[in-house]
Amino acid sequence: MRSTKGRKEVRGPSRSVKKKTPRNKTRPNYLMLFVLFVASAAISGGISYALKTPALNIKQVNIRGVHYCKEDAVSGAAKPALGKNIILLRKSPIIARIRRLSEVEDVKIGRVFPDKVWIRVRERKACAVATNGKNCCLVQADGLVFHEVEGPVKGLPVISVASECLLRVGLKSGQVDIGYALEALKLARAKAIKVDKISVDHEGDMCLNMESDFFVKLGQPDDMAKKMSLLRRTLDCKPAFAREASYIDLSCPSAVV
């Protein structure tokens, strides 16, 4: 029998086994949870109170900027806001109703807590008073007729056109006579010429009235810029010309009378 004493046992490398230690479980922060619960309850309660309390109901609407349009029409458009909660107020329907007025160009609305609302109206800017002998209307620079008046308005020139010219509030005048007169008025203002009245007859000939009953016959609307330049030069050369003369005829710019 063979002896087994001299044999060495071959063993693999020994591995150390690490014991897994259980992690500590995170304990809930009851204090933070309580604070969050109280805060959310307070916020929801505050919102509910703000939306239901009569203290935030609108009691007054202040309107500014109304001159041409009727204030009753503006206040009537804003009347639905009274009694409504100031936080829940929808401004767009009120703005849309006020903008339907022909005199209004823009509207702004704001809140004043706890129970007031302000409305600021920006009306259209009148360039002249147009009249056809039947009615008088305010006209802006692009020809839009936006308000009817009883007669001439202080500080605004008058554009007098033929009786068949239609003047309707809310629409742009399709009459070329008013368009030519507005263009002449624009050129006169650029040359610092004070105009009281522009008359356009049935044939389209224009006559410009200045202060002291001085007339300027402009004729047909062609070469209007040149005619206004001639008038400006004439007044600059002799400032007393407008007081001493009765009229000047610029119908033909090459032959001034």
Q: Tell me the backbone φ, ψ of residue 185, rounded to 5 degrees.
A: -65, -40
pLDDT of residue 214: 87
Residues 16-51: b if buried by 16+ CB within 10 A, e if exposed: eeeeeeeeeeeeeeeeeeeeeeeeeeeeeeeeeeee
Q: pLDDT for 184-195, tens place per residue?
A: 999 999 999 999
How far apart are alpha carbons 224 and 186 in whole angstroms? 11
Please state the pTM of the whole predicted model.
Answer: 0.78
pLDDT of residue 174: 59
**Which of 170, 158, 171 lies closest to 132, judged by CA?**
158
pLDDT of residue 1: 45
Q: Does residue 71 have a pLDDT over 60?
A: yes
pLDDT of residue 61: 94
pLDDT of residue 25: 66
Residue 252 corresponds to which amino acid?
C
CA distances from 69 to 20, 121, 157 (A): 86, 10, 20
How far apart are alpha carbons 185 and 250 in whole angstroms? 15
Q: pLDDT for 28-40, tens place per residue?
A: 788 888 888 888 8
Q: pLDDT for 76-118, tens place per residue?
A: 999 999 999 999 999 999 999 999 999 999 999 999 999 999 9
Q: pLDDT for 129-156, tens place per residue?
A: 999 988 999 999 999 999 999 999 999 9
pLDDT of residue 18: 56
Q: DSSP of 142-196, one letter per residue?
A: TSBEEEEESS--TTS-EEE--TTS---TTSB---HHHHHHHHHHHHHHHTT---S
Residue 161 corresponds to which amino acid?
V
49 is written with which tokens?
A: 């109170």
Q: Does residue 211 have a pLDDT over 80?
A: no
Can you give the length of the chain in residues?
Answer: 257
Report the share of the chain in percent with pLDDT over 90.
54
**Which of 184, 203, 204 lies closest to 195, judged by CA?**
184
In three-state form (DSSP H/G/I as H, E/B as E, the rest C), the secondary structure along 153-168 is: CCCCCEEECCCCCCCC
Q: pLDDT for 12-27, tens place per residue?
A: 555 555 555 556 667 7
How far apart are alpha carbons 43 and 38 in whole angstroms? 9
